[in-house]
Amino acid sequence: MTRNLSPFLRALDEAPLILAEGSVVERLRRHPAGLLDPHVANAGLLFSPEGREALAGIYRDYRDIGLRHGLPTLLLTPTWRANEERLARAGLAGRDVFTEAVGLLAGLRDEAGGRGASVFIGGLVGCRGDAYQPAEALPREEAAAFHAPHVEALARAGVDFLVAQALPALSEAEGLALAMARTGAPFMLSFVLRPTGTLLDGTPLGEAVARIDALPGARPAAYMVNCVHPSAFREGLSRQLAASPSLGARVVGLQANTSRLSPEELDGRAELDSEPPDVFAREMARVHAELGTRLLGGCCGTDERHIAALASALTKSDRA
């Protein structure tokens, strides 16, 4: 029987390769105008012409790379830090941040005409506290209540899927899964992973996936890892696959950073630690070849050069 899948879920299910965007916030951090807000990062840029232009330019770079290489491409809304608490601190309470964010990306997709059908918009959220500090993670039920307003707003705004990124701990990930599932939108969860194969709170990745998948009615479409170097992902996932081979069917994506430093070494670091694009692309192509990871993109330290090199390396290796 053929399943009635949304275009996004069909791509996630069937596409041999999917390209995710590279860094957005870190590129804006290096903007000479100092555009980032200390509370909501890039979300506030939606309400100024200069900010929207800066955002659109970055997203357009990533969109065009995917289109050139014929890859389904994921663009994520600039809402990683746009929870109610932070919006209030930034003076944005009552502003329709989520509709503006989705509208920006939908406009960029529309620019591509028919080819834009391969561009998917993800509603991005993050944990309440510091993504590198698992002790700040919310308990499950508190997390479900805390995150419900903004995931519901993103779903209403018309995203193709929801995604929570840079999650350091199981408890808040469970709550996010519950909140996202209640919207009816497809969703993914993305963890920070140590080379040992555990989340930052010490939970083995395989255990985290099994426990979330077992939540009634809250099974994610897939799982990812982000904000770690490809070598850390490769080592960590390989360890987990040795104990649970079926995990590879659930953990399908990596948005990697370009630093081999640990989360503790990167936390609060002012200087960018970045590898050249060709080195990054080789590392990511190795992840794809060895682990079969199909959804690949960039995080801290990456820009359009890294994503272009990645797309080129992936499509060449896929044809080989």
pLDDT over threshold 80, residue 193:
yes
Q: What pLDDT is attached to residue 5?
A: 87
CB 205 within 8 A of CB 247: yes
CB 164 within 8 A of CB 176: yes
**Residue 97: how many other CB atoms lie within 10 Å:** 25
Segment 92-120 shows an average pLDDT of: 97
Q: How remote is the C-alpha of 197 from its chain's centroid?
A: 19
For the chain, the residue count is: 320
Give the CA dihedral 177, 179, 185, 189, nearest 10 degrees: -30
Segment 122-126 shows an average pLDDT of: 98
- CA 311 vs CA 61, 205, 304: distances in Å: 12, 27, 10
Distance, in Å, from the CA atom of 193 to the CA atom of 187, rounded to the nearest integer, reads 19
pLDDT in tens, 9-52: 999 999 999 999 999 998 998 877 778 999 999 999 999 999 99
Write out 209-261 in H/E/C secondary structure: HHHHHCCCCCCCCEEEEECCCHHHHHHHHHHHHHHCHHHHHCEEEEEECCCCC
Q: Which domains can be identified in the chain, with CATH numbers?
A: 18-319 (3.20.20.330)
Looking at every residue in the chain, the average pLDDT score rounds to 94
